[in-house]
Amino acid sequence: MIHFDRHHPTLRNRLRPLALFAAFVGLPMVLPSKAQAEREFSSVVRMYDDSRTRVISPAIEVGSTFNEDRMKVSVHATQDILTSASSEVKTFSSKGEIDDLRNEYSVNFETQIPDGTLSLGVVTSDEKDYSSRVISAGGTREFFTKNTVVGFGFSSGSDVITATANASFRETKEHQNYSLSLSQILSKESLIQLIYDFRVESGYNASPYRRAKLITGNSISALNENHPRTRNRHAVGVKYNIYIPKMKTSFATSYRIYQDSWDVLSHTLEERMTKEFSRKFEVALSLRYYMQSKAKFYQDYYNGDPGVFYSGNNTLATYNSYTVALRPAYNLTEKTNLSLKLEYFAQKFQDATDAGNLSTLSDDKKLEISAFVVGLGLSTKF
The pLDDT of 91-104, averaged and rounded, is 68
Q: What is the pLDDT of residue 12?
A: 39
With a CB cutoff of 8 Å and minimum separation 6, the contacts of 350 are: 317, 318, 319, 366
- 24, pLDDT greater than 90: no
- 16, pLDDT greater than 80: no
Element (H, E) at 116: strand 116-127
- 25, pLDDT greater than 50: no
Q: What is the pLDDT of residue 303?
A: 87
The pLDDT of 3-30, averaged and rounded, is 39
Identify whether the C-beta of residue 263 lies closer than 8 Å to the C-beta of residue 228: no
pLDDT per position as a tens digit, 139-171: 999 999 889 999 999 999 999 999 988 999 999
Torsion of CA 191, 287, 298, 226, to 10 degrees: 80
Q: What is the pLDDT of residue 371?
A: 96
Q: What is the pLDDT of residue 165?
A: 84
Q: What is the pLDDT of the chain when averaged over all its residues?
A: 88
The residue ranking higher by pLDDT, 338 or 31, is 338
The pLDDT of 194-203, averaged and rounded, is 98
Element (H, E) at 194: strand 190-203
Helices (H), the chain: 9-26, 87-88
Confidence grade of residue 295 (pLDDT, cut at 50, 70, 90): very high
**Percentage of the chain exceeding pLDDT 90:** 73
Confidence grade of residue 251 (pLDDT, cut at 50, 70, 90): very high
Confidence grade of residue 95 (pLDDT, cut at 50, 70, 90): very low
Tell me which of 95-104, 298-307, 361-370 is least confident: 95-104
**Percentage of the chain exceeding pLDDT 70:** 85
Identify whether the C-beta of residue 268 lies closer than 8 Å to the C-beta of residue 255: yes
- 61, pLDDT greater than 90: yes
Q: How big is the CA angle at 173 (ends 319 and 347), to the nearest 5 degrees?
A: 15
Surface-to-core class of residue 272, CB atoms within 10 Å of its CB (0-12 exposed, 13-18 middle, 19+ buried):
middle
Nearest to 238 by CA among 254, 250, 251, 252: 254
Nearest to 357 by CA among 214, 220, 217, 212: 220
Identify whether the C-beta of residue 122 lies closer than 8 Å to the C-beta of residue 96: no
- 178, pLDDT greater than 80: yes
- Per-position DSSP letters for 354-370, written without gaps between them: ----TT-STT--EEEEE
* Interatomic CA distance for residues 111 and 70, integer angstroms: 6
**52-56, 94-98, 113-117: which has the highest mean pLDDT?**
113-117
Give the pTM.
Answer: 0.85
The residue ranking higher by pLDDT, 88 or 64, is 64
Q: What is the pLDDT of residue 97?
A: 60
- 89, pLDDT greater than 80: no
Please report, for residues 90, 213, 301, the alpha-carbon distance to residue 219 in angstroms, rounded to integers and kept in the order given: 19, 10, 12
Three-state DSSP class for residue 11? helix
